Amino acid sequence: MASPSELNRLTIANAATMLRKREISSTELTRACLDRIAAVEPRLHAFLTVTNEQALEQAAAADRRLKAGDAPELCGIPLGIKDIYATKGVATTCASKILGNFIPPFDATVIAKLRAEGAVFAGKTNMDEFAMGSSTENSAFGPTMNPHDLSRVAGGSSGGSAAAVAADEILGALGTDTGGSIREPASFCGVVGIKPTYSRVSRYGVIAFASSLDQVGPFAKTVRDAAIMLRSLAGHDPRDSTCSARAVPDYPRALSGDVKGLRIGVPKEYFVAGMEPEVERSVRAALKQYEAMGAKTIDISLPHTAYAIACYYLVATAEASANLARYDGIRYGMRAAAEDTIALYEMTRAQGFGAEVKRRIILGTFALSAGYYDAYYLKAMKVRTLIRRDFERAFETCDVIVTPVAPATAFKLGEKMNDPLTMYLSDIFTISVNLAGLPGLAIPSGYDTNNLPIGMQIIGAPFAEETILRAGDAFERSGAVTLKRPAL
């Protein structure tokens, strides 16, 4: 049995079993996580808000429920919540000054679901402002550091959630993924992250960046833990008109460990010049491991991949321009002192938004403006269709597609902040999945010579979460990778 000071290292599955057997209490587990947060946060900065008192109250309630025998699997489990989810009574800032004083009067749907299950909320995690970024350096409240090397980024935009799980501050966390914002930080921090199919999970109460691309998903220490969380998060929500009414499978039940006969597509466009050699070696070694386990690899092509970056940054910024127009200093959030309405709009946004958010609003507004809509936004939407068709054709011959998550491991803090285009290229292997609305799983596939994690991406057809989770779990079980705990 884990000692009280090591309970925070447990997986969700193991902790849930121990809680039900009454070997540990949720209060003990939560205290271990809060103690860990207090110990490492000054160096890590994964959290923007730590809800100590609320977490212990939720843990006590979970213990009563566990004692009564009425307890779902997430009951009593401490989680981190990306600061993009409306959380009733708790500051929800989106890591932006413009929402620095915003306390929602309601819960996002997935927050309400987790509350109903008796999960414990340890706090709100750091992120890139309005989820715009690949490093969590765009947070108005300072960057999150990578637990494996505090001089490097944790990835973004959900870097706080990934770092908190990797550092054993919590057992799991929520993130959002618009162009790779779950999978890239999962890769950089050496944890598991899944972006479900677009519409699989409700977005109601999630502060919008790009509505046709955003998707809710979990971070966890293992694929099984991610499957447990996804089972609780997924499902129809009448308050989200884009949310699928499909029944939710029992994702953990799909984790058979068997991949015999699984057809794995390997796209040539995802193994390109300029990729770190150690990243390519790691992912190709994983493919060899799959073959040894009875899977079959197939070379495929996704020919429109080269246009994905340009397509994404037109679609995403155009939608951001529309979504962020609501931050005007009138209804909620920051309000600048001004003499007239126009000045109020200008000064509120100038003072409240960070540089990256302003950059994307300007680009998106330009792409939607009269005379440029057809040349930019409409053309990008046509390319998006071609990218989706590439995947449709690929899935006629394979069951999953395996690629690197990113072309490199975690980069140094500040290394790319002054070169936005280089920063945008960090998402080159993830954004096509969002444009096509597909599910994608990031799992550790190894480490580079600096002991930095390398992530492998497993992409599935629409609503094929069971398949990618099964493939990820089988690789995890194979023992091909020995995970390394950050030396914090």
Q: How many CB atoms lie within 10 A of CB 2?
A: 16
157 an active-site residue?
A: yes
Q: With CA atoms as reference, report the closest residue to 85 among 199, 214, 179, 185.
A: 214
Polymer length in residues for the chain:
488
Q: What angle do CA 195, 196, 198 make, to 5 degrees?
A: 110
SS3 of residue 453 by DSSP: strand
Cβ partners under 8 Å of residue 350, min gap 6: 336
Please tell me whether the peptide bond between 157 and the residue prior to it is cis, using omega within 30 degrees of 0.
yes
Q: How many CB atoms lie within 10 A of CB 125?
A: 35
What is the secondary structure of 83-135 as a DSSP string?
TTB--TTS---TT-GGGTT---SS--HHHHHHHHHT-EEEEEE--SGGG--SS
Q: What gap in Å lies between CA 193 and CA 172, rounded to an integer? A: 10
Q: What gap in Å lies between CA 435 and CA 381, rounded to an integer? A: 9
Tell me phi and psi for residue 227, to 5 degrees. -65, -40
Q: With CA atoms as reference, report the closest residue to 233 among 252, 213, 216, 250.
A: 216
Q: What gap in Å lies between CA 211 and CA 353, rounded to an integer? A: 19
Residue among 26, 82, 161, 202 flagged as catalytic = 82
| Whether 222 contacts 188, CB under 8 Å | no
| Whether 315 contacts 284, CB under 8 Å | no
Q: How many CB atoms lie within 10 A of CB 369?
A: 12
Residue among 26, 157, 187, 199 flagged as catalytic = 157
| Whether 12 contacts 74, CB under 8 Å | yes
SS3 of residue 385 by DSSP: helix
The amino acid at residue 375 is: A
| Whether 320 contacts 130, CB under 8 Å | yes
Residue among 181, 202, 282, 321 flagged as catalytic = 181
Q: In what order do the strands lie in the sheet with 440-447?
A: 47-50, 120-125, 78-82, 172-176, 216-220, 192-195, 440-447, 453-460, 400-404, 263-267, 296-300
| Residues involved in catalysis | 82, 157, 181
